Amino acid sequence: MSVYSAQHLHKLRMVVTGGGTGGHTYPALTTINTLRERLANAGTEPDLLWVGVHGGLEEKVADRAGVPFKAITTGKLRRTPTPRELARNVVDAFRIPIGILQAVLTVARNRPAVVLSTGGYVSVPIGLAARLFGVPYLMHEQTLSLGLANRILARFATRILLSQEPSLQHLSDSARNRAVVTGNPIRPEVLAGDRGRGAAAFGLDPRQPIVVVTGGAAGAQQINRLLAAVLPDVLAHCQVIHQCGGLSLPEMQQVAAQLPPALAERYRVVDFIHDSMPDVLAAADIVLARSGAGTVAELTALGKACILIPYASSAGGEQRSTAEHLAGKGAAVMLDGDGATPERLREELVGLLVDPARRSAMARAASELGHPDAADKVVAEILAVVSRGA
């Protein structure tokens, strides 16, 4: 902390904006917690304000984290050319100026030393207000290709913080000179999991290979049904912990009930894995999952061999781009489109399970793409900007 003087850090005032999805919200929360910890070591604390949409995920997360929250009105540009979406664009066109005015008043009243944005359409008004008042503005992008909001904001951001190296190619020459690859902040508890605890939580043997399957907190029917089709063959080689989501739980429990007893003992299915997820990920030899930004950030930081099935409707095809990038580096297997079949899943899963050397090579390649210290790097960029501006 000696690089930053007490004058710079005393009651550092920062506005945080970003939300709409967990992919935008949780990196902001992790950064806030890391900043608080860093400043506590220097005997101070940040003066924070989180700006978002009323009723959005970010409002709930800010409340739980004890961060003051300001809701503003904002609109979203929808790029799906349907009559309904076009009509909503027209309505939101009248909301955007209101949101910009509210953002300008918020920045004027709070006079922050720095603004951090983690994306989503709510970040645009605050980014514009920061520009108007000459407040240092840091923009973080979680996905490989920049979202629409961040493509707008990158034109004048003081610093552009990227999660992955290939994102640099999506920036103009001017923006690239202001960019740095920090990685995508992940919860520190994810890095502190224990294999033994993860296996024990589900009554499994930590000495035997474990495959963890997840489609996210709500599950993914495509992944669940692909797994159901290959379970008997896969369970002959491993144990499986499956987070299937609430909607698919009865169906997957029925699948489990039809397994031979010797194989059923090796399969654990639940709707949602709560606080034990860090331990479960630590126990995983292979992870079968979607390729959302947060998931990929965690898996690469942990150095996990993985099979990724991109969500076909992700904005801008970003999940496919991310999975394709990892597969090209030997850090994952991607099953996509017509290739996402039970036969292909069986081939890839069993192939990895019977070939520990290949599995280890994939895990090492994933680790080389990971940024377990991403939150520290983002906080360092925040403090460096504040230090220069003080």
Q: What is the 3-state secondary structure (H, E, C) of the chain?
A: CCCCCHHHHCCCEEEEECCCCHHHHHHHHHHHHHHHHHHHCCCCCCEEEEEECCCCHHHHHHHHHCCCEEECCCCCCCCCCCHHHHHHHHHHHHHHHHHHHHHHHHHHHHCCCEEEECCCCCHHHHHHHHHHHCCCEEEEECCCCCCHHHHHHCCCCCEEEECCHHHHHHCCHHHHCCEEECCCCCCHHHHHCCHHHHHHHCCCCCCCCEEEEECCCCCCHHHHHHHHHHHHHHHCCCEEEEECCCCCHHHHHHHHHCCCHHHHCCEEEECCCCCCHHHHHHHCCEEEECCCHHHHHHHHHHCCEEEECCCCCCHHHHHHHHHHHHHHCCCCEECCHHHCCHHHHHHHHHHHHCCHHHHHHHHHHHHHHCCCCHHHHHHHHHHHHHHHHC
CA 326, distance to chain mean position in Å, is 15
Distance of CA 229 to the CA centre of its chain: 29
What strand order describes the sheet that includes 137-141?
69-71, 47-52, 13-17, 114-117, 137-141, 159-162, 179-181
pLDDT above 60 for 157:
yes
Query: What pLDDT was estimated at residue 50?
Result: 98
Structure tokens belonging to residue 301: 């930081």
Share of the chain above pLDDT 90, in %: 80
The residue assigned the tokens 């999952």 is 289
Buried-state track 146-166, b at ≥16 Cβ within 10 A, e below 16: bbbbbebbbeebbbbbbbbeb
pLDDT for 82: 59
Query: Any residues with CB less than 8 A from the CB of 104 and at least 6 apart, and which?
Result: 125, 128, 129, 132
Residues 117-125: what's their mean pLDDT?
A: 90
Q: What pLDDT is recorded for position 74?
A: 77
Assess contact for 280 and 213: CB atoms under 8 A: no
Residues forming a β-bridge with 239: 210
Kindly tell me if the per-residue pLDDT of 81 is higher than 70.
no
What average pLDDT does the segment 346-372 reach?
Answer: 98
Mean pLDDT, to the nearest integer, of 35-62? 95
Domains 6-186+372-389 and 189-369 share a fold: yes
Distance CA 182, CA 150 (A): 16
pLDDT band at 95 (very low <50, low <70, confident <90, very high): low
Domain locations in the chain? 6-186+372-389, 189-369
> How many angstroms separate the CA atoms of 291 and 143, rounded?
10
**pLDDT value at position 4?**
44
Q: Report which of residues 11 and 109 the model is more confident about.
A: 109
Q: Assess if CATH 3.40.50.2000 describes domain 189-369.
A: yes
Q: Between 337 and 96, where is the model more confident?
A: 337
Q: Each residue of 310-323: pLDDT tens digit?
A: 998 887 789 999 99
* CATH architecture of residue range(s) 6-186+372-389: 3-Layer(aba) Sandwich (3.40)
pLDDT value for 296: 97
pLDDT for the residue 76: 57
- pLDDT per residue over 180-200, tens digit each? 999 999 999 999 999 999 999
**Which tens digits make up the pLDDT trace of 216-235?**
777 789 999 999 999 999 99
